[in-house]
Amino acid sequence: MRSSIKQTVLLVGLLGLALSATAVERNHSIVLKSGIYTLDTTRQTILSNKTTYEDDVDSELALEYEYRINDHVGVGVEYTTFTGNFIVLDTPGETDSELLMVNARRYFDMGQHVKPYFGGGLGFSRVEMSGAIGGDASGMGLQGMVGVEFPFDRFGLVAEYKFISSEPDDGSGEEVDLSGSGLFFGALVRF
């Protein structure tokens, strides 16, 4: 089920990239990013069990829509997903995490094809655990990012370092710490 959701998000993103290449105005963009994300806290206690996570998570993928208010300010919505692996008493498990954030960025001009930026976002996070421990949790999350965009006429490239803080809980006090940081690379299409 999770892989089909991720495949659908990827397919919609690629379709949006293809369709938007024919548009005339260019203050909208769709960005597809992937990278390396590392959890800050690898040893957690969940349901009174000592849980050890692998440092790096798998299947990091982010899809974002952004509207440029002007040349220096952009706002948008970003969906990020990743999978983490953990061990409890020698039994493996997996967490599927999703974040939906509303972002704002401030861009700077350093040439026609180089635009460094910084920004932040606030939104919703959700995690589903399976294997040794099962269940799901949700909560608020926030992120900060610094990066550089390499824009061209309709297409561009992005390199971004992202910091995420999120500790979703299951409503009865059990939390999963998804906080961490990572380096993401991607491609964008303006329309």
Give which of 103, 104, 101, 105 is closest to 79, Cα–Cα.
Answer: 101
| Total domains present in the chain | 1
Taking the alpha carbons of 136, 97, 78, 11 in that order, is the dihedral positive or negative?
negative
Tell me the pLDDT band of 18, cut-offs 50, 70 and 90. Answer: low
Q: Is the Cβ–Cβ distance between 148 and 117 less than 8 Å? A: yes
pLDDT at 73 over 50: yes
Q: Report the distance separating Cα 153 and Cα 156, nearest Å.
A: 8
Confidence category of residue 125, pLDDT binned at 50, 70, 90: very high
- Residues pairing with 115 in the sheet: 149
User: Rounded to whole angstroms, how far apart are CA atoms 62 and 13?
Assistant: 10
What value does the mean pLDDT take over residues 22-34?
81
Which pLDDT tens digit goes with each residue over 133-187?
889 999 999 999 999 999 998 999 999 999 999 999 988 888 999 999 999 999 9
Q: What is the DSSP letter of 159?
A: E
- What CATH number does residue 173 fall under? 2.40.160.20
Q: Amino acid identity of 55?
A: D
The total of other beta-carbon atoms located within 10 Å of residue 140's CB is 12
Count other C-beta atoms under 10 Å from residue 32's C-beta: 19
Which pLDDT tens digit goes with each residue over 90-99? 899 999 999 9
Beta strands, E only, the chain: 28-39, 43-46, 49-53, 58-68, 73-88, 91-107, 115-131, 135-151, 155-166, 180-190
Cα 82 to Cα 92: distance, rounded to the nearest angstrom: 17
CB 176 within 8 A of CB 86: no
* Contact by Cβ (8 Å): 179, 40: yes
Closest CA to 73 of 99, 103, 102: 103
Q: Which domain does 119 fall in, by range? A: 2-190
The least confident of 28-37, 51-60, 102-111, 179-188 is 51-60
